[in-house]
Amino acid sequence: MSDRKYFGTDGIRGRVGEFPITPEFMLRLGWAAGQAFKKDGQRNSVLIGKDTRLSGYMFESALEAGLSAAGVDVKLLGPMPTPAIAYLTRTFRASAGIVISASHNPHHDNGIKFFSSAGTKLDDALEAEIERWLDRPLEVCEPSELGKASRVDDAPGRYVEFCKSTVPNEFTMDGLHIVLDCAHGATYHVAPKVFRELGAKVSVIGADPDGLNINLNVGSTHLDALKAAVVENGADMGIAFDGDGDRVLMVDRDGSEVDGDELLYIIASQRHAEGRLKGGVVGTLMTNLGVELALKDAGIDFERAKVGDRYVMERLVANDWVLGGEGSGHMVIRDCTTTGDGIVSALQVMLAIHKSGKTLAELRQGMTKLPQKMINVRVAERFDPLSRADIVDALRQAETELGEAGRVLLRASGTEPLIRVMVEGQVEADIVRVVEELAGVVEQSSR
């Protein structure tokens, strides 16, 4: 990815109004994408969906104009979860899908994600092709060849039915009381329908988007509101999505958090017990060591990929495995869908609860998380922390101190100007001290 001018690990993302997250750039990006996606001899179409950010209206119009100028038809889906665009791109046989979203970021950020005609993230070659078109002068096609735009009014219903189709017909949530936190984001109008139609009693928070409150003190990155709602309502559990619906975390009935590592373990161990887990499991460099140890104790292979769902997917495809994910709750379940899907992942956890006859609390007890602490150090400009001698020296000192019983990870975020400092080991007090010392060195070096 180092040779990319615009694309990061998850599309193009930044602050609204600052290049490249501007209307002018989005117009050119729409045209460039249209040129890259076009296939000769057929009428090409691209789907556009978005989350609930106010800026989504502006960028939707700009992308639509650019695609039309390239001679590509546009189908507008409105506010829909990111994985819904992946699914609908396949079902409409579209040339590609575009999502306008900055995922779990605040409303003042926005971004663009692309899906191929197969509903998968773009490969490096196609991203490079789009960037090559961005460097060329924008030329409008013949007026008779301009792309047309139309709205898909039944998109939410189509996606609700797809989510329900990923669990068996006999599966039901009758008798369960669930609190859903939709992060004032793209799942606000579909997730409650999915869980209610499958029989659950559903209470909902974070489902009143106003364009500015997406991820604001709600959703998978801010669980306090969900924890309180679960306890206050006496619910069996809570489920939190992020702003674009590709991540999920859960809360037990007593308000305790169940993170993505634990959810990945629950799905994997239940499928393994039933003989339905094809191959092993892919995690990332950030995955808690407790997951790896618990899976190996169960006889399940485990492999680590670089951080980011595209890298998890690469290893799954290479191994011909079906299950992988991150502690953030971004999981890929390849025999259900083609990308990370918060609702589908949550349903797989609910299916494990249903089939095992155990509670969420009982299922998570199969693994023990090692103490792990991460500090995000905000920097003025992204840089490789391993390129600086002072940071490398501090890293080596930390690794020596922790020995074989610990892990240290330094990495630059692919979506934000952050350096992530993670330390894992046996003794929590030692972990906290080491991560704070290392984060201090990173902060000092970035000035």
Catalytic residue IDs: 103
Angle CA 214–217–218, to nearest 5? 65
User: What is the DSSP code string of 281-305?
Assistant: EEEETTS-HHHHHHHHHTT--EEEE
- The total of other beta-carbon atoms located within 10 Å of residue 390's CB is 12
Between the CA of residue 397 and those of 156, 391, 406, 441, what are the distances in Å?
A: 53, 10, 12, 12
Exposed e or buried b per residue across 81-93, where buried means at least 16 C-beta atoms within 10 angstroms of its C-beta: bbbbbbbbbbebe
- The total of other beta-carbon atoms located within 10 Å of residue 351's CB is 18
Exposed e or buried b per residue across 117-129, where buried means at least 16 C-beta atoms within 10 angstroms of its C-beta: bebbbbeeebbeb
Q: What is the DSSP letter of 273?
A: H
Alpha carbons 117 and 130: distance in angstroms, whole number? 15
Phi, psi angle pair for 284, to nearest 5°: -130, 180
Alpha carbons 212 and 209: distance in angstroms, whole number? 7
Matching residue, tokens 């959810």: 263
- The total of other beta-carbon atoms located within 10 Å of residue 108's CB is 16
Longest dimension (CA), the chain: 69
CB 312 within 8 A of CB 282: yes
Q: Which of 257, 240, 113, 111 is nearest to 185 (CA)?
A: 240
